[in-house]
Amino acid sequence: MTEAARADGAGAAAGADPAVAGEVAIAFELNGHSVSATVPADQLLLHLLRDDLDLTGTKEGCSIGVCGLCSVLVDDRLLSACLLPAVFVNGSRVRTIESLAGADGHLTPLQDEFIRKGGFQCGICTPGQIIAATALLAEIPRPTEPEIRDWMKGNLCRCTGYTQIVEAIQGAAR
């Protein structure tokens, strides 16, 4: 069973031998905060985030890495949390949708544009779309429409809000 993740840096519970239980102690930066956890060796990052750390902005959709709902940034690389074992983020910097708004609650220009342009409908894909678009704008600050469409093709929207999503990214790039 997974030991509750803790931000205090403490190791495994006294007397527990994580290696015997197939568990691994990890430490990483999550949304700007140090996190330590003891996780089953096969636990996915998605489940650590949602189930143990209560960060439910990262969604589970296809569970095979093709829908983009579980998009996160690991050391500024866009990755699917539903495919990534949590042990792989040991020593890394992880960012989820919860990290984007400022401490004062102000949204990023990209988040503002998603609202202004209606780049969401049901909202299920929105966190993954915004994380992917954040990675895009970090790599290509002024992307063309074809670059946006190519980059975002790994993020599915069942409500077909693609035009508004592209417009929101273009607006934020300006």
pLDDT tens string 78-120: 999 999 999 999 999 999 999 999 889 899 999 999 999 999 8
| Radius of gyration from C-alpha coordinates of the chain | 17
Read off the pLDDT band of 10 (50, 70, 90): very low
Q: Are 169 and 122 in contact (CB under 8 A)?
A: no
| 19's tokens | 């290696």
Q: Are 149 and 94 in contact (CB under 8 A)?
A: no
Lowest-confidence region among 11-15, 17-21, 76-80, 129-133: 11-15
Distances (CA, A) of 53 to 4, 89, 137, 169: 8, 15, 28, 29
Residue 4 has pLDDT above 80, yes or no: no
148: part of which helix (H) or strand (E)?
helix 145-151
Task: Tell me the CATH number of domain 23-99, given options 3.10.20.30, 3.20.20.70, 1.20.120.160, 3.10.105.10.
Answer: 3.10.20.30
CA neighbor of 53 nearest in space, from 36, 73, 72, 70: 36
Read off the pLDDT band of 17 (50, 70, 90): low
Query: What is the pTM assigned to this prediction?
Result: 0.86
What angle do helix axes 109-117 and 162-173 make, rounded to 10 degrees?
140
pLDDT for position 19? 54
The chain-wide mean pLDDT, for the chain, equals 90
Task: Tell me the CATH number of domain 109-173, given options 1.20.1420.30, 3.40.50.300, 3.50.50.60, 1.10.150.120.
Answer: 1.10.150.120
The full set of domain ranges for the chain reads 23-99, 109-173
pLDDT for position 2? 39
| 15's tokens | 């007397």
Read off the pLDDT band of 14 (50, 70, 90): very low
Q: What is the DSSP letter of 122?
A: S
